[in-house]
Structure 1
Amino acid sequence: MSNTKQTQHVIPASSDMPLTLLETLPGALFFVDDAATIVYANASAQALLGVTRENIVGKPFWRGAHQLVSAALYHAVQQTRHTRAPSEVEYVSPMTRTWLHVHLSPTVGGLMVHVHQGRAAARREAPVPQGKRLSIEDLDGLYSRVGVLTPEGIVLEINEAPLVEARVRREEVIGYPLTETRWWSFSPTSQEQLRAAIARASRGETVRFEAIIHPREGLDRHLDVAVTPHRDADHHIAYLVIAGIDITERKRAEAEIHALIDAIPQLVWTTQPDGFHDLFNQRWHDYSGQSTAEAQGEGWMQTLHPEDRHRARTAWQHAVQTGGVYETEVRLHQGTTGEYRWFLARAMPVRDERGQILKWFGTSTDIDEKKQAEQQLKESRESLRVLAETVPQMVWVARPDGQHDYTNQRWQDYTGFTLEHVQNDRMAHLQFIHPADQEGTRAHWQHALDMGTMFEHEERLKNGQNGEYRWFLTRAMPMRDEGGQIVNWFGTSTDIEEQKRTEEALRQSQECIRALIDSNIIGITSVEMEGEVIVDANEAFLRMTGYTREEVQSRTLSRMNIASPEQAPLFEHSIQELTARGQTTPFETELVCKDGSRLPVLVGGVIFQDQPWQMVSFVLDNSARKELEQRKDAFISMASHELRNPLTTMKMQTQLVRKRLEKQSQHEAATALSRVEGPVKQLERLIRELLDVSKIQAGRLEYVREQVDLNELLREVTATIHHLHPSYTILERGAVEVSLLADRDRLGQVFTNLLSNAIKYSPDVRTVEMDLSASDDAVTICVHDHGLGIPRELHDKIFERFYRVADSKRKAIPGLGMGLYIVAEIVKHHGGTITVDSAVGKGSTFTVTLPLMKDD
């Protein structure tokens, strides 16, 4: 529909020029509208382009007729549109390399383009003067990529280089926007750079930029691109010329140079031929704190010490003017600390083949320590004396015959001798050497003098101020001239008192270890890990177990011989721990003695990764402690039973008397008597816990196996605790409909204890929380308080019998440390686990997990 309308505007009326006449005209005839869209093409035009009418009508002229596209034609079209006067142009088609003669005539709403090919007509006045006509061939040798574009960026002409590199045909590019070509569209960043450059150039600005293009897979090129506008006689932008120079190798070289510059340990900088500083490596930025922009030009001068700036500027200007080497010493400001350090600044000009300076390459090398050393040397008359006074040792210099010629201040301060004391007597220094060491020193020193070899001896030197002796290692090296003759001896005395003490302590420690091994207190064995065979044992172990050294030497004793079968899991666990940690935590077990008796022992060990691996273990006779524990448990059990009966009687009598007093209206006496019931109940609970502990130790704690509704049990426990502590709030979260096969009273004892403890150890907080959750295999109950908390290193110990955390806040809280021990044993008996998560001052969370066991 749109094409029909355009044809009506562009093609003359049928009365003037019938379409049949247009078809018979010689040459290719096109009609295009003002938008440069083809609205008509005769048969010759179709034949010239090798397309049908349907494939060309409605397409942009520059894209549909790319065989005709050239800068000359484009310029002629623009001129005809502008002047509205007929024109003609001759040129060689960039596509077909044939001569084309084109007549252009304005029509209503467009242009008529009449093309004749195959003949070189007489040259008429061209739209562009002959001497100024653009030729791609003229630029092809200067640039790697050259093209002519419309002000909108449509490709009119392009040289072969980018087409070959991208492996595309010319017709795939001519008439299309350059920004849509493969090499520019691959990178959105580069594409946007080009698009912006074309827009600026179409407004009359010459634009230069660097960009990365991607001609094909695996190939990238870095270009230095220039887009230049060309104007016609009326100063309108006729077309754009884009030229690109391949600077890939230069960029790669620059990157390598930059990487090298950043790797150089010095501060590195470069300048332009005129001396303008333009590049600084990262070390410069890190040291000075300046950015590149701040340091460029003469900005770097701000990092120089004010006293050095004039000298450095003068030396630099002289080097730039003469092209000679720049070298000067300056103090540079450290951007982080504000300190100044001395640097040696050097710069060399880099020249091309003609000798022209391309760049200056400069380095600044830290010479601050050197400058400091030079300053010290200037202030000292002799470099050796400066060194001697700064080292921590006592330093001395002797002549070839051994006569002391110099001693540093440390030597004089320690010995109390002056240099004059030892300059006249070769052996005068023996006066402050310990009498027991003097002969050894004299003999070693004389031997060194005679043989010209190094002197080395450990000796005790007397402190001239307090008369004490300290161990020193004294060394002296002969210093020779070029002829090999000794010119002097350079000696040092280094304090090794701490080292000698350490050696003595090590010797004593080794003696203690040997005494321990040889003692009759601790049994020690050496066990080969493979086979767990005992290969050595001390007398204490043999005496304890009754085995002989012959049995050890014959390698017939192993863990299988001396450990009872029921103790095997303990030993297997210890082996696993040894392999993982290199040592095992001491554990209690029993050894089978030679006579078949059982010996309670405490065992521990460490592993030595020799070949084969060996374990050294200690064995401590534990029978006395075990017997004592048994007596203690027996006493606790007996005491608990003996106390329970009279306490029960006292409790009943107290309650009976209180009730009688209340009936007699003696309320004051009844109230006083009721106060006795609290301590009685506390004693009753303690005795009950003592009985439970004794039963647990004896393995006689009784359990009843029944179905327990956990929700109901916890409600009862919570209600009881709330009745006893009405000022506290127990928050229950979650509900689980589970039934456990367990001892109801014992589980009640567990949660009563945990809730009571949560309240007891939260004196300043009135809320305790209890959370319930369940899975397919277990139910979890968490009791959380916001009280005192427990140190993390004591989390495991609180479940031990009679253990209580010792601190000032807990001393006032009653308890014997039995509750958590009983709780842990009850939970363990039910196949569950109990853990604690706590921190001091942040409260505690006790988590009990019980398996959902089913009745068989």
Structure 2
Amino acid sequence: MSNTKPTKRLTPASSETLLTLLETLPGALFVVDDAAKIVYANASAQTITGATREDVLGKPLWRGAPQLVSTALYQAVQQTRQTQAPSEVEYVSPVTRTWLHVQLSPTVGGLMVQVHQGRAAARREAPVPQDERLSIEDLNGLFSRIGVLTPEGIVLEINEVPLAEARVRREEVIGYPLAETRWWSCSPTSQEQLCAAIARASRGETVRFEAVVHLREGLDRHLEVVITPHRDADHHIAYLIIAGIDITERKRAEAELHALIDAIPQLVWITRPDGSHDSFNQRWRDYTGLSTAEAQGEGWMQCLHPEDRSRVRSAWQHAVQTGGGYETELRLRQGTTGEYRWFLARAMPARGETGQILKWFGTSTDIEEQKRVEQQLKESQESLRVLAETVPQQVWVRRPDGLYEYTNQRWRDYTGLTLEHIQNDRRVHLQFIHPDDQDGHLVHMQHALDTGAMFEYEQRLKQCQTGEYRWFLSRAMPMRDEAGQILKWFGTNTDIEEQKRTEEALRQSQERVNVLMNSSIIGIFFAEDEQVVEANETYLRMTGYSREDLCEGRMNWLHMTPPEYLARTLEAQQELATQQSLTPYEKEYVCKDGSCLPVLVGGVILEHHPLQAIGFVLDNSARKELEQRKDDFISMASHELRNPLTALKLHTTLLHRQLAKQGLQGSAPALSSMETQINKVTRLVEELLDVSKIQAGRLEYVWETVDLDALLREITDTVQQTHPSHRILVRGAVQTSLMADRDRLGQVFTNLLSNAVKYSPSAEAVEMDLSTSAETVTIRVQDHGLGIPREKRDKIFDRFYRVADPRQKAIPGLGMGLYIVAEIVKHYGGTITVESEPGKGSTFQVMLPRKRT
């Protein structure tokens, strides 16, 4: 048999019995869920609340039973939830004024709250200490508006002041969020302020703010509100105390004060005791263009003139620290015009009964006109002295007898003499005049004194400290009375040392220009637009024109330019116009007799005459003739060398076969070395021949379809076999066919790869990067070798040019390869550029226009 006892099940009959039992329990009984909503209330509970079961079920306990709501009950509910242990509390109902004894027991999913009504004598010790509870009796004795809220803002208790003003019953407020009461909800702004303050207070912060509440029609109040959080023994926020003090009258008084302040003609400002500016009258805001918010604190300082800020700040801080009066003159900026005007700023502190400073009241009075009058008066009184002290000249005044009456500070600093020195000795100043100039000075001065004519003389005066002489222009004019008698002589000494030096430099420069213009080597001409307006004899001799031709305007450099050089000449003129100077370039002149003269031309724009340019011309015919002879020699030599080289190659081939037939293999290495050298000479001759053809414009090209990827692979394999010391890495592909000469393109990339290997002897690899776009094909060849200095990069594509570096000179070559490469790339409408850094290698980039077959 089983020993297990049968489990009792709750039948409908037993459930009805339980409900009957609960209905007959003494006192009111509420069962609430975890959200504190009422799920059951017995008949006694309905009697206490004065509402039917349907009215209270589903409502929060604080809203369904407002007669029971108090801080003590709220704390007891929170404690029972946290500890899950039965508890009890006693307190006076704020509504019925009867003593309530409440027992709380945890249930599955909520609490059971049993309320017994009694008298104060029957109460037992409450679980919440009495000194931590706040009853409605404590609140009603206060004139302030005070309430107790849950951390969520639900009203637990409230005193009679706000209820009476709003004419609402306590039951209409208790258990509801304070923000939804009539006096807060009628103002969305105030309601938002309250909600934000409750949220901050529920996190433990004491919050203060001002707000306007609408209690009822025609009754608004301005409140200063403080919300203080209260914590339980576990330091959790238990409830919030909200207190509101009516400051309506104070605000009205402040408004009246501000209205009075706005009527004052001065700019008025008020600061807090610590000196930070708080408010400003309308006249101040209109003048500065700043709002009160922008000007508060030290924001008003931005209106001060920058030169006054430090002084004004120090004076104001001193007044605040000492509590004394404040007065200073300052300049304030007008917000609309940006103009500064002078103001007299004054401030006095307003003190309380105990002497502490409550506020500072200040005014700023416009004194701009007063300052202007003062300045004009000062200027009129000291006009002569100010003028004499501010002009850059030395100023002096002498009486008719020749004695000095006044000198400015500049004169005294230069000579080292005081007024006492010069007022007693009319010749004391002569010690500062250069000995060679003293006689002339005396003669001119005496003539002026005798005749009354203006005194003017250039002389050298000694600086007292350094002993250095400088040139001055001394002038003096007499001041006469109504009768024409000379009263005083007003004189100045103007420093013309720089002018003298400039004149001397100009004289020397003119001499150099004359030497240059008279040069028999350099032709010089001045041009305005296309017309030659001046030229030296050498230029005229070069071109065959006469001075008469020049004067009659028959020399035009554009007409003197052959058609084949016109484009290059116009390009040079554009360079001259944009850069103010011209890189020398080669061209030809058509001389007066129709012959052509090769010349080298450079030029600059005159700084003070932008429409006029000066050109420098060198006769280039001798060099051109030498180059032609060199080209002729190269052409002849390359043609003459081809035949014996061809014969040598043929004979070495036959010799190779004969030795092979005779079994003399031992001679093969020597023969191979001979063939290698013959091939090198052949390549040099072919390059010479190509250079000769390029110069003559007769380099041949064959048009055919070239698979660029296949060509580059073939060239790479060949160079790799020829130079096994380096790895040639190819990245990417172009997948493009071009209409071009396969051999000429091969010549370009073979030369670039071979150069990359030659000029990177210590590196292990050479890279070739291939890429393509819709318009162009780009091939980059990079080495990690010697590199090229920046100033020599543009020259490496010149004919026969080689970098003058001992390490590179040791590498064989005649400087023809890159010249030929550049010409071939140019022929196909492409470009070749180089990026290089000494010691880090070079990267050559070839860009060819893409043409699909």
One-letter amino acid of the structure 2 residue matched with residue 240 of structure 1: I
What does 1:554-569 correspond to in 2, within 5 Å? 559=558, 569=567
Judge conservation of contact 1:600–1:626 (CA < 8 Å) in 2: yes
Q: What per-residue deviation string (whole Å, max 9, x for no partner) do you get for residues 443-501 of structure 1?
A: 36986999999x996544689999997656789999xxxxxx9999999997x767644
Tell me which of 767, 770, 778 is aligned to 1:769: 767
Question: 2:758 aligns to what?
Answer: 760
Aligned pairs, number: 670
One-letter amino acid of the structure 1 residue matched with residue 242 of structure 2: V
1:524 lines up with 2:526 in the alignment: yes
In 2: Cα distance, 1:467 partner to 1:610 partner: 38
In 2: Cα distance, 1:761 partner to 1:545 partner: 50
Query: Secondary structure of 1:200's partner?
Result: coil
Question: 2:636 aligns to what?
Answer: 638
Question: 2:241 aligns to what?
Answer: 240
1:537 lines up with 2:539 in the alignment: no
How far is 1:256 from its partner? 4.0
Question: 2:298 aligns to what?
Answer: 258
CA RMSD of aligned residues (A): 7.0
TM-score, normalisation: structure 1: 0.58
One-letter amino acid of the structure 2 residue matched with residue 426 of structure 1: R
Judge conservation of contact 1:76–1:88 (CA < 8 Å) in 2: no
Query: Secondary structure of 1:714's partner?
Result: helix
Question: 2:388 aligns to what?
Answer: none
What does 1:692-711 correspond to in 2, within 5 Å? 692-711=690-709
How far is 1:693 from its partner? 1.4
How far is 1:732 from its partner? 2.4
TM-score, normalisation: structure 2: 0.58
Query: Secondary structure of 1:790's partner?
Result: coil
Judge conservation of contact 1:31–1:40 (CA < 8 Å) in 2: yes
Question: 2:505 aligns to what?
Answer: 505
1:150 lines up with 2:150 in the alignment: yes
Question: 2:742 aligns to what?
Answer: 744
Query: Residue 155 and residue 15 in structure 1: after superposition, are their counterparts in 2 closer, same or farther (change >3 A)?
Result: closer
One-letter amino acid of the structure 1 residue matched with residue 611 of structure 2: Q
One-letter amino acid of the structure 2 residue matched with residue 443 of structure 1: H
In 2: Cα distance, 1:852 partner to 1:790 partner: 30
Question: 2:202 aligns to what?
Answer: 198
Percent identity of the aligned residues?
43
1:133 lines up with 2:140 in the alignment: yes
Q: What per-residue deviation string (whole Å, max 9, x for no partner) do you get for residues 537-569 of structure 1?
A: 22467773869988997899695x565665554
In 2: Cα distance, 1:186 partner to 1:783 partner: 72
Q: What per-residue deviation string (whole Å, max 9, x for no partner) do you get for residues 736-761 of structure 1?
A: 44333222222222122112211222
1:834 lines up with 2:832 in the alignment: yes
Judge conservation of contact 1:198–1:227 (CA < 8 Å) in 2: no
Judge conservation of contact 2:575–2:582 (CA < 8 Å) in 1: yes
Q: What per-residue deviation string (whole Å, max 9, x for no partner) do you get for residues 64-111 of structure 1?
A: 77xx989x9544854897865585434xxxxxxxxx999988587456
Judge conservation of contact 1:227–1:240 (CA < 8 Å) in 2: yes
Question: 2:94 aligns to what?
Answer: 89
How far is 1:128 from its partner? 3.5
In 2: Cα distance, 1:212 partner to 1:604 partner: 84
Query: Residue 78 and residue 705 in structure 1: after superposition, are their counterparts in 2 closer, same or farther (change >3 A)?
Result: closer
Judge conservation of contact 2:38–2:58 (CA < 8 Å) in 1: yes
How far is 1:781 from its partner? 1.8
Judge conservation of contact 1:524–1:619 (CA < 8 Å) in 2: no
Q: What per-residue deviation string (whole Å, max 9, x for no partner) do you get for residues 645-695 of structure 1?
A: 455556767888899999999999997887676665544433332221121
In 1: Cα distance, 2:702 partner to 2:90 partner: 118
How far is 1:129 from its partner? 5.8
In 2: Cα distance, 1:821 partner to 1:661 partner: 41
Question: 1:426 aligns to what?
Answer: 427
Question: 1:727 aligns to what?
Answer: 725
In 2: Cα distance, 1:238 partner to 1:319 partner: 42
Judge conservation of contact 1:76–1:89 (CA < 8 Å) in 2: no
Judge conservation of contact 2:534–2:550 (CA < 8 Å) in 1: no
Structure 2: state its 5+ residue gaps. 1-13, 78-86, 105-110, 117-132, 167-172, 213-222, 252-271, 280-290, 329-345, 362-391, 479-485
How far is 1:634 from its partner? 2.2
Question: 2:178 aligns to what?
Answer: 174
In 1: Cα distance, 2:664 partner to 2:459 partner: 94
Query: Secondary structure of 2:846's partner?
Result: strand
Query: Residue 638 and residue 229 in structure 1: after superposition, are their counterparts in 2 closer, same or farther (change >3 A)?
Result: closer
One-letter amino acid of the structure 1 residue matched with residue 828 of structure 2: H
How far is 1:439 from its partner? 1.3
One-letter amino acid of the structure 2 residue matched with residue 786 of structure 1: H
Judge conservation of contact 1:148–1:242 (CA < 8 Å) in 2: no
One-letter amino acid of the structure 2 residue matched with residue 522 of structure 1: I
In 2: Cα distance, 1:715 partner to 1:407 partner: 89
In 2: Cα distance, 1:604 partner to 1:740 partner: 41
Question: 2:845 aligns to what?
Answer: 847
The structure whose Rg is larger is 2
Tell me which of 763, 785, 789 is aligned to 1:787: 785
Query: Secondary structure of 2:718's partner?
Result: helix
How far is 1:784 from its partner? 0.7
Judge conservation of contact 1:659–1:670 (CA < 8 Å) in 2: no
Q: What per-residue deviation string (whole Å, max 9, x for no partner) do you get for residues 281-316 of structure 1?
A: xxxxxxxxxxxxxxxxxxxxxxxxxxxxxxxxxxx9
Q: What per-residue deviation string (whole Å, max 9, x for no partner) do you get for residues 422-450 of structure 1?
A: 99781674686162675158636986999
Judge conservation of contact 1:31–1:113 (CA < 8 Å) in 2: no
Judge conservation of contact 2:526–2:612 (CA < 8 Å) in 1: no
How far is 1:133 from its partner? 2.0
In 2: Cα distance, 1:209 partner to 1:770 partner: 75
Question: 1:345 aligns to what?
Answer: none
How far is 1:16 from its partner? 6.6
Judge conservation of contact 1:441–1:459 (CA < 8 Å) in 2: no
Judge conservation of contact 2:789–2:836 (CA < 8 Å) in 1: yes
How far is 1:240 from its partner? 1.2
Judge conservation of contact 2:73–2:89 (CA < 8 Å) in 1: no
Query: Residue 200 and residue 580 in structure 1: after superposition, are their counterparts in 2 closer, same or farther (change >3 A)?
Result: same
Query: Residue 34 and residue 257 in structure 1: after superposition, are their counterparts in 2 closer, same or farther (change >3 A)?
Result: closer
In 2: Cα distance, 1:691 partner to 1:614 partner: 47
In 1: Cα distance, 2:524 partner to 2:576 partner: 20
Structure 1: state its 5+ residue gaps. 1-7, 19-24, 91-99, 115-125, 141-145, 164-169, 202-206, 214-222, 272-278, 281-315, 328-347, 362-392, 479-484, 528-533
Query: Residue 620 and residue 191 in structure 1: after superposition, are their counterparts in 2 closer, same or farther (change >3 A)?
Result: farther
Judge conservation of contact 1:397–1:491 (CA < 8 Å) in 2: yes
Query: Residue 173 and residue 774 in structure 1: after superposition, are their counterparts in 2 closer, same or farther (change >3 A)?
Result: same
Judge conservation of contact 1:658–1:670 (CA < 8 Å) in 2: yes
In 2: Cα distance, 1:462 partner to 1:851 partner: 75
